[in-house]
Chain A
Amino acid sequence: DTEVTQTPKHLVMGMTNKKSLKCEQHMGHRAMYWYKQKAKKPPELMFVYSYEKLSINESVPSRFSPECPNSSLLNLHLHALQPEDSALYLCASSQDLRSQGAYNSPLHFGNGTRLTVT
């Protein structure tokens, strides 16, 4: 069982649609991440939230809009996507690395959302 839950598992959307990906964790982690992964390639970092504030945006196009409503939830809003945006979108979370004993904590990943843009 994964401790990071992503919904939906699969999503097909047209280029004019608006949709959202959701991610939830209840491990008390205060850092949350969005990654994009193409087939047989490593994940690419898109965004990092720390304590519900956007800390890193890796020059992601504005058609991707992240949101962190609270410490357990992370959303990725999608609008006017292109076919090349089709990929697996992974959410991850981690402990505050400054916390006692957490300096070597790994990222915990969800199962991802397989997005197809038609």
Chain B
Amino acid sequence: AQTVTQSQPEMSVQEAETVTLSCTYDTSENNYYLFWYKQPPSRQMILVIRQEAYKQQNATENRFSVNFQKAAKSFSLKISDSQLGDTAMYFCAFRRNAGGTSYGKLTFGQGTILTVHP
């Protein structure tokens, strides 16, 4: 079974600064997918960024980027130029290769509450 660990229950950052959220996972799979979701107080889980395990290049989406270290099984999220709207709970999630099924099960970490201060 896969496990996902987020070791930072809470973090805070000043507006416009950079913050990094950590995530490690454990799997024996070689082909899998990793995701970061954010959940603001509005409750909706919103996809922030995704990474395919077979791609060495780190994914980037505007101010969000990841540092994917496959050998170390690490998938950290860097938020640059933090904004007040980034305040949310962030979940790291793992999904194994669907292996011929139409759906995929996500394994979530425990989450990190990020607060951006003005």
Contacts and interface: CB of A to CB of B under 8 A. Distances in A.
Do chains A and B stick together as partners? yes
Band of interface residues on A = 20 to 34
B75 interface: no
Nearest to B35: A106
B60 to A, nearest CB: 15
A90 B45 contact: yes
Interface stretch (B16-24, B61-69, B80-88, B96-104): B96-104
Contacts of B100: 98
Contacts of B50: 104, 106
B42 A111 contact: yes
B105 A56 contact: yes
A109 B44 contact: yes
Nearest to B46: A109
A110 B43 CA distance: 9
A41 B103 contact: no
A50 B43 contact: no
Interface class of chain A by DSSP: loop
Given A41-B111, A97-B98, A103-B98, A48 B105 contact: yes
A94 B103 contact: yes
A45 B101 contact: no
B74 interface: no
Interface string A37-78: 000111101001011000110000000000000000000000
Given A55-B103, A98-B102, 9 more contacts: A33-B103, A43-B45, A43-B108, A45-B106, A48-B105, A94-B104, A97-B104, A98-B100, A114-B43
